[in-house]
Structure 1
Amino acid sequence: MKLVNTSVKRPVGVIMIVLAIIALGVVSVRSLAVDLFPKIDLPIAVVATSYQDAAPEDVENLISRQIESSVSSVEGIDTVQSQSQAGSSLVMMMFKNGTDLDQALLDVREKVDQVKGYLPEQAGEPNILRFSPDALPVVYLGLTGGDAAKLTTIADEEIVPFLERQGGVASVTVEGGKTREIQVEMDQAKMQQYGVTTQGLMQHLSSTNSSASVGTVEKGNQDLQLRVTGEFESLDDISETIIQTETGATVLVEDVVEVTDTFKESSSTTLVNGEPSLVLSIMKQTDANTVEVATNIGDSISEMNGDLPGEVKLETIIDTSEFIQMSVDSVISNILIGGFIAVFILLLFLKSIRATIVIGLSIPIALISTFALMYFTGQTLNVLTLGGLALGIGMMVDSSIVILENIYSYRKRGYSLFDSATKGASELAPAVIASTTTTLVVFLPIIYVEGLASDLFTPLALAVSFSLIASLVVAITLVPMLSSKLLSKAMEDNGRRYWFDRFLDWLRGKYASGLKRVLKFRKTTVLATILAIIGSLALIPMIGAELIPASDQGQAQITVETAPGSSLEYTEGIAGQVNETINEYSDVIEISYVTIGGTGFTAGNQATYTMQLTPAAEREPSTQDIVTEMDEKLQHIAGAEITASAMDGGMNMGDPISIQINGPEHEVLREISDQIVTEISSIEGVFNPSSAAADGVPQMTISSDEGKAATQGLTQEQITSQIQMQFNGQVVTQYREEGQEMDVTLLYPEDERSTISDLKDLKVQSPTGASLPLEEVADLVEVQGPVSLLRENQQPQMNVTSAVVDRDLGSVVEDVETTLDGMSLPEGYSITIGGQAQDMADSFTDLAIALVFSIFLVYAVMAIQFENFLQPFIIMFALPTTIIGVIGGLYITGISLSVPGFIGIIMLAGIVVNNSIVLVDYINILRGRGMDRFEAIIEAGRNRIRPIMMTTLTTVLAMVPLGMGLGEGAEMQQPLAVTIIFGLSVSSIFTLFFVPVIYTFFDDLSAKFTNRKEKKKKKKEA
């Protein structure tokens, strides 16, 4: 080939190009972002709306339904889900894959704007957000050493601004802090004495605390801006505000109220290792390097601690970059181990340090070139892309081995260095290109697969492809050039490795005799192979299936849920008992923090613990083992529903099992979900099943009597506003001090707004000035209200979720489906299974289609290469034999089939044919030289067993570290590595025996057709 000749003739040019690539790769690897997983771009948008103090039913009817209806017509919408709970609405829109989410968000914003006018006045502004798995804090910090008020001031004024200036930091959120508030507490007796009404007090405070521009006046040749100032400058200004009563008298605010500078009532408590604390969660910028951001934060903590008061301390609670760094380091170490193994195998076979260097150089050059290509295609360094390189480390030398072997054979036949290099490389370059191309084309369908499988493994496919392309270029340019310069003598026996040569000679002899035997008993060989494949298929039910292998990231969570409506003090008491259990695991728990009470979408009767365990290498039990044992102990604590679970850290895959029940009535859905929880609890492997239909929250329903209210001149809105004022207070204005702005809240004393008696004794003021008991104009009924209400596609929904322990997801789902099929549902109600189970089914379907297309593309490439439809078909018979190795390997290692394992099967479709290509191609070359078919097969087998062994051993043994699951985060690549190790090993054996047998069958068949054509031709001529 021209490229080969050019590289041999111009070695300086080749070396300069290689040096340039190395320089470019070194620069690129320093610029590549480091993360745990590739970026998962989920087409999901969220509309979040607050509706303070509203019950879930009101939130659903007045907000969620309105927004659902408006956004459902947006183009590309697949599913619309909503969650309505006390005080907030969350509407989630899932779009079809391929939807332009930027345009979709604009359409959603436009639709929401159209219905904003129909939402209640008390509802907050709807926030439209793009949902991203990357939108999770990268570091959690704990601030301890003082009361919450003092710590809040330090955090807001010093720490948060400093951290937000650090490189890559997007935002910092403070949890557990105190919010300053000016409380204006009313004295009803004094207000009645002076004739001051609540409405009048609100109006005076609001109107007095204002500033306005009122125009301009001329002063000489200048215009003066007129501005009336009247904002409160001190608490005394609030206290001394003059109120004019309806009788015309004037009183001061302090005469009827008490003004207090205090903090808003806290609905939650945050503890770090049992000590009151503030927790700062730090979000990174979208394109920022997680490890670099965490490093910047770590450096800034040391700097901040030096400036904080002596007793105040800022420390890291959870740093997600630690696991990322450990995972990346373990993959890199596996790459190095695999590289050393590959080089050792080369040295063992080649018996020459120079020859080993010639081939070994393809590994670092391919790796460095891959880093450059990854940088320019926007990829990141993560456990999957690096895992792809670790898997491909052995394949990188395959092409170089085949080329060098042929160069060596020409050199032994007496050719010069130049001729050996050019002829040897040119002769097998087409076969090498074909074998590499077959490996590359299997990845093309993966790029077009949609969903999670594509997001996770397209980067891996690109990394492997880049490395193989680079290694192919090295094989047909650098290897021939170096061979012509470095291999001045043919490789000779040097005594030290003579035992290995004798072993190879013995192996060649055994293989030749075995090959002769299978060629003699061809039908028996085919039958034995078919039986082996059928036998391996029988093992499939024993393997099981799962979506993604769980990584032991050392993070655990405990959720405590007391009875709905429980006070914060009661939940804190239960949390104290949980702390006692957690303290028993102090040897494996590095740090823990708990949030008790309501924050955002967390109910006020909940406590959530987050725990960081010691690294997996420093403890014997896995995170799941610890969690299971801890969960069993926690069940003995009465008064709460307590669940312990392992966290998946950087990649939230959702609940393993999520059962969705849809129907017209929420109450019926609650009953069905409770029944499902009971039914599936007895299934082996189901762990902590729970229903979203938690016990109802105690509610007091106040129904105004329109007739009685109208008699007194009252409307329902007036009654509602007075009740809200009595029990929640109302923000009437803002007070500014030293650049800070805080609410001025008008409210009643706590002892007048805390009991049912206070509600019943509430006096409602009529427009005529009369004061009436609430019970005269409204009916009070105590009921149980829902915690939250779910809807999907504008229909009520209820979810039942469960984790899976000590059993594979596939078999558990199968048992769950059997159980659900046996249940009878009311008409109009349906059950579907989602979560990881649905993702697994979708991913497996997509990958199965990709596998079919990959096999077709492999055949097409070989048909082009051989310019023959029959030869590729013969070679493809190596593929079915991989089933034996794949299924057997998964069964032996006890690993379930997962998406990574399926990717390994697709990769095998392109890898296993390489040995067959080399073997069949050489058989054809020998037959082209006039050799008999039988002799050509035996000679090709004897000649090619060495390079086939070298390529197989380098590929397989280089993957052994990954296959053993060594290091942090190796669980993700282990199924892929095991699949390739066993699949390639078994298929290589069958390639050496089974493929030659198939070759003879098809050759006989071809000969029959050829003879028939010749006979027909002769008859026509006769």
Structure 2
Amino acid sequence: MAVTSAVYPEAELRNRAEQVREDLLALPTVTRVSPFATRDREISIEVSEEALRTHGLTIGEVANAVRQASVNLSSGELHTEIGGLVLRTRARRSRGEDFADIVLLSREDGTLLSLADVAEVRDEFADVDVAADIDGRPAVLLRVNRNEGQRPLDVANEVKEFLAGYRAPTGVDVFVWDDNTRNLTGRINVLLASGFMGFALVFVFLALVFDFRVATWVAVGVPTSFLGACLLFPAFGVTISLGSISALILVIGIVVDDAIVVGESIANEHERGGRGAAAAIAGARAVLPPVVVGVATTVLAFAPLLFTTGGIGQQMQVLPVVVGLVLAFSLAEAFFILPSHLSNAAPWSRWPLAELQDRVRRRIEEWRDGIVVPAISAAVRRPFVTLLASALFVAGAGLIVATDTVRYVFLQGLPTDRLQAGVTFPPGTPAHVTEGALERIVRGAREANALAGDDPVRTVAVVVGQQGFSPNPYARDRYVQEATSTGSHLGMVTVHLREEAQRALSPAEFLGLWRAHVGDIPGADSVRFLADELSGEPGVAFAFVHPSDDVLAEAVAEVRVALETDPAVRAVVDSLGLGKRQYDIELTDAGKAAGMTPAFLARQLRARFFGEEVQRVQRGRNEIKVSVRYPRERRHGLRDLRDERIVRPDGVEIPLSTVARVVETRDPSVRTRIDGVPAAEVSAHVDLERSTPARTEARLVRDVFPAVLARHPDLRVVEIGQAREEAQVVATLMYTVPLVLLAIYVLIAVLFRSYGQPFIILAGMPFAFAGAIAGHWLLGYDLLMGSIFGILAVGGVVINDTLVLMDRYNRIRAESDVPAVAAISAAARQRFRAIVLTTATTAVGMLPLLLVKSEVTQNLVPLVVSLVFGLIAASAAILFFVPAVLLVAENARDRRLRWR
């Protein structure tokens, strides 16, 4: 929130903001409101060196007098006949004017020397360079946060309701200027709309194939499963968030798969003459084992995400929980509720729907019997040709990834209408220099806004002396933590764009215009433009570990040169930048001979320049620090420190230069250690339009690191940032995926009582990967972590469909003596419609997300591409590749039996 005014001074504006803060904290759901980009209040008692010398005082003596005079102290209890009486001294002061009459000295003539006689008491703001304005008006920013367990939307809605009825004083504006729930709400709304559209399309598709009774009850399983899962969300620690909504969207098409298989099986029983509950029970029982195992394997396919660590890992962990809950309810609905509704074979469909359904079913059967089954038979009769073609397809997909034709990007930012530009100068840079740079950045934003034509900029906020009011949910490294630091060398400009429908340019396009109009800023260590919710963390980041500062500086310098010469890299930052100029003060032998110690000397200098804290007083919700120190002019001046008068232990004043050496130095602004050893970090952002973090890292590892490590073999290179997050996720998957595959193998082996058939079923999974890669290549998308989630989901569907096919094949072989080729063709023919329907409903359910061109759904498109194209390729593999593998296995088994 922001409290702005063009007429009130800083103190009055802060008072207004404090009142707004109190009103907000009075709301039932609001528990945390903190000011941001504002100066803290303090009481500064400023006494000059001349006044101290005139009256024979020291800052320590003044501080002690204030400390003794401003106190509340209990002196015990007096027990009398009428009861106990508490003895208490109440002299604590809380405002600047209250300190003026404190007595410092009582002279022999009876006169008193008060604090007001030697010092100026300032009750104002801390002497730091921090300020904020919004659209040119001074502002106090209030950050409203939620506590753990609170829902962000509940807090945001109550704040907005409060503002709707709030009447600000004349000349003051109070409004929400940065709402983190706005993007979340927009995404959830779009995802829900896409989900409803997907559900409607799935229902329409089912109604074209099944009788309206079957289509209705199969489709009803979707909201039933979702509702049941949502009711259990609190028990599993799941909230309605972007992650859980995305997981629900992910399973829209998958959740009807088991219902389709059960409904198809019951329909087949009815076609064979079965009636009533007996037919429904027989149909459900026929597919019970493979469907249950299929759902279990789908849930297991997502299980590795439960064990992922790091920032992104925490976001992944919700997916398997949501998928497991939804599929569990879907399974229960398919076997305990659906058969009851389908026990009556009387059709619901009437003309013209019934006629349309008959036409669709005839077309599917004609296509199945005239094209697909003959093709399956041909593929089975020439199994090695089929296997070779399949292997070439999978190998081609692998080659596409290996050659970087389809790029792999671990994380891609989530588009947002909040754009930021942060500028960092060397520590110690005066505030006016930073303000000049920020004015240039704001001017660039205004010029970009004018060039865009449709006035896309909603507000422009400027913060001097502080960075970082855009939280990054995945950040774990220093680069984002530094955004909370303060100093006159730091500044940030935040531009909020209008809603997507009200502008023509995307956030990334506007940011490109903005950056071009700002250009280079002379003297700045870094200028970073952020266009999404993840770009606060650099794509490339390494730490070098070595005890020698010279070796670290050399390594960082070489890496910086390599990064800065890469046109795809921007905002190169390292941790070896020098801090503020500083004076190192060391005692000389003369100082030691005078009885001084480093602590004795440091305390005197600290009291004069930093200030000696006397006490802290509570004023409202704020804690006010009371300090005694030199006047502001003395602390801001350039007077030679060497002439500063130091009081020896015997009370004699001498110049500082007679007892200490003063040397001007500059140390690194940040000191980093890894495992107790000095380290230096270097990072950069990568323009994804030109390259990827993986490519940049690979170039460094190939071209730069070998030469550096050859000169310094004991230098250690450590990945940090996104690379470390990725390494953590990959390391987790490396040991969890094999365990999951083993668990899936055991389930299938127990179901079919075979050690070999599980391998045949699992053989179709690479086609999910190959199809997903082909889809990304055809549509021009990068391979993201979301793409991997889609492949996992497809893997579960593939196993599910293959289980049903294999179960039917085993039944045919057990019930008759038909050859393997005929049994395979018959099984494929009988399960063709179920396989095609599960693929089609999943693809149709995802279609709205693929077709809706929205910034909100941009990060979900790769997931949808993986699902749709992975399912298409995997379905083809189930119908052609798996039968060919099965025939080869059967022939091998027959030969082995003959040899015996």
TM-score, L = length of structure 2: 0.89
Shift of 1:989: 1.2
Kindly provide the CA deviation profile for residues 105-154 of structure 1, in whole angstroms up to 9, marking residues without a partner as x.
xxxxxxxxxxxxxxxxxxxxxxxxxxxxxxxxxxx434435221012222
Moved more, 200-209 or 795-804: 200-209
- Structure-1 separation of matches of 2:651 and 2:759: 97
Matched, 1:752 2:620: no
Match for 1:644: what amino acid?
A: R
Matched, 1:312 2:195: no
Alpha-carbon offset, residue 1005 of structure 1: 2.1
Residue 451 of structure 1, CA deviation:
4.5
CA shift digits 1:144-187 (9 cap, x unpaired): 3522101222223x222222233343321112445444443335
Q: Which residue of 2 aligns with 1:257?
A: 119
2:842 to 955, 979, 993: 955
After TM superposition, give the deviation of residue 403 of structure 1 in Å.
Answer: 2.3
Tell me the secondary structure at the aligned position of residue 605 of structure 1. Answer: strand
User: Within 1, Cα distance between the matches of 2:768 and 2:45?
Assistant: 78
| Equivalent pair of 2:448/2:517 in contact (CA under 8 Å) | no
Residue 440 of structure 1 pairs with residue 296 of structure 2: no
Are 1:529 and 2:390 matched, yes or no?
A: yes
Contact kept in structure 1, 2:444 and 2:515, CA below 8 Å? no
2:783 paired with 1:924: no
- Measured after TM superposition, the shift of residue 743 of structure 1 is 4.4
Correspondence 1:209 to 2:70: yes
In the TM superposition, 1:158-307 aligns within 5 A as 158-217=19-78, 220-232=81-93, 238-244=99-105, 250-253=111-114, 254-303=116-165, 305-306=166-167
Report the CA distance shift for 1:484/1:490 in structure 2 as closer, same or farther (over 3 A).
farther
Q: Rate the CA distance shift 1:519–1:227 in 2: closer, same or farther, 3 A.
A: closer
1:884-899 alignment runs, 5 A limit:
884-899=770-785
2:309·2:728 contact (CA, 8 Å) conserved in 1? Answer: no
Q: Amino acid of the residue matched to residue 647 of structure 2?
A: Q
Residues 152 and 1005 (structure 1 numbering): CA distance in 2 closer, same or farther, change over 3 Å? same
Q: Counterparts in 2 of 1:564-603, with a 5 A limit?
A: 564-586=427-449, 587-597=455-465, 601-603=485-487
| Correspondence for 2:542 among 659, 672, 675 | 659
Tell me which residue corresponds to 1:979. 866
Is residue 2:489 matched to residue 1:605? yes
Query: How much does 1:427 deviate?
Result: 2.2
Gap change, CA 1:391 and 1:598, over 3 Å in 2: closer
Contact in 2 for aligned 1:558/1:643 (Cα 8 Å): yes
Instruction: Please state how far the C-alpha of 1:665 moved relative to its aligned partner.
Output: 3.2
| 1:684–1:812 CA contact under 8 A, matched in 2 | no
SS at match of 2:208: helix
| Distance of aligned partners of 1:143 and 1:932 in 2 relative to their CA distance in 1, 3 Å threshold | same
- CA gap of 1:655–1:489, structure 2 versus 1, over 3 A, is closer
Pick from 802, 808, 811: which aligns with 2:684?
Answer: 802
* 3-state SS in 2 of match to 1:756: coil
* Alpha-carbon displacement from aligned partner over 1:282-316 (angstroms, at most 9, x marks no partner): 2211110011111111112233x31x321112111
Q: How much has 1:812 moved relative to structure 2?
A: 2.3
Question: Residue type matched to 2:251 in 1?
Answer: G
2:669 corresponds to which residue?
787
1:625-636 to 2 correspondences below 5 Å:
625-636=509-520
> 2:366 matched to 1:503?
no
Q: Deviations over 1:434-482 (max 9, x none)?
A: 3323323323444345555653333211212222222222222322211
Query: Aligned residue pairs: how many?
Result: 868
Query: Counterparts of 2:506 and 2:742 in 1: how far apart (Å)?
Result: 42
The unaligned stretches of length 5 or more in structure 2 are 450-454, 468-483
Looking at structure 2, the residues matched to 941 and 736 of structure 1 have their Cα atoms a distance apart, in angstroms, of: 79
Is 2:297 the counterpart of 1:467? no
Cα distance between partner residues in 1 of 2:718 and 2:809: 56
Change (3 A) 1:894 1:412: same
CA–CA distance in structure 1, aligned partners of residues 242 and 466 of structure 2: 36
1:344-373 superposed Cα distances (whole Å, 9 cap, x missing partner): 2111112x3222112222112111112123
- Indicate whether 1:379 and 2:263 are aligned: no
Match of 1:360 among 205, 212, 219: 219
Residues 1:876 and 2:791 aligned together: no
Cα offset, 1:380, TM superposition: 1.3
TM-aligned CA distance change 1:685 to 1:487, over 3 Å: farther
SS of equivalent to 2:812:
helix
RMSD: 3.0
Q: Does the CA-based 8 Å contact 2:60-2:607 persist in structure 1?
A: no
Structure 1 residue 324 displacement after superposition: 0.9
Shift of 1:1001: 1.9
1:722 partner letter:
Q
Separation (CA, whole Å) in 2 of partners of 1:491 and 1:432: 31
Shift of 1:376: 2.5
- Conserved? CA contact 1:301–1:315, under 8 Å: yes
Letter of the 2:159 counterpart: I
8 Å Cα contact 1:181-1:263 kept in structure 2: yes
Whether contact under 8 Å (1:168, 1:285) holds in the other structure is no
How much has 1:827 moved relative to structure 2? 5.4
Q: Which residue of 1 aligns with 2:582?
A: 699
- Which range moves more in the overlay, 530-539 or 732-741? 732-741
CA apart distance, 1:737: 7.8
Change (3 A) 1:845 1:980: farther
- The residue number in structure 2 matching 1:57 is none
Give 3-state SS (helix, strand or coil) of 1:309's partner: coil
Corresponding residue SS for 1:702: strand
Give the letter for the 2:364 counterpart. L
More displaced, 225-234 or 810-819?
Answer: 225-234
Post-superposition Cα deviations, 1:492-546, rounded to whole Å, max 9, x if no partner, equal 9944455434422331211222223223322222222222222222111322222
- Matching residue of 2:481: none
SS of 1:443's partner is helix
Name the amino acid aligned to 1:589: V
- In 1: Cα distance, 2:817 partner to 2:516 partner: 73
Match of 2:315 among 456, 459, 472: 456
**d(CA) in 1 for partners of 2:879, 2:856:** 36
Q: Deviations over 1:905-928 (max 9, x none)?
A: 333332112332222322333333
- Which residue identity does 1:605 align to in structure 2? H
The AA in structure 2 aligned to 1:869 is: Y
SS of residue matched to 2:707: coil
What displacement does 1:205 show? 2.9
Q: Take 2:245 and 2:95, find their aligned partners in 1: how far apart are those partners?
A: 61
Alignment-mate amino acid for residue 674 of structure 2: E
TM-superposed deviation, 1:799: 0.9
- Sequence identity of aligned pairs in percent? 22
Distance 2:240 2:375 in 1: 46
Q: Distance in 2 between matches of 1:236 and 1:349?
A: 85
Q: Secondary structure at the match of 1:608?
A: strand
- Structure 1: gaps (5+ residues): 1-139, 1014-1022
What TM-score do the two structures reach when normalised by structure 1? 0.79
Distance 1:883 1:990 in 2: 12
Contact 1:205 1:241 in 2 (8 A): yes
Question: Displacement, 1:279?
Answer: 0.7
Instruction: Pick closer, same or farther for the CA change 1:262–1:456 going to 2, 3 Å.
Output: closer
Q: Cα offset for 1:647?
A: 5.6
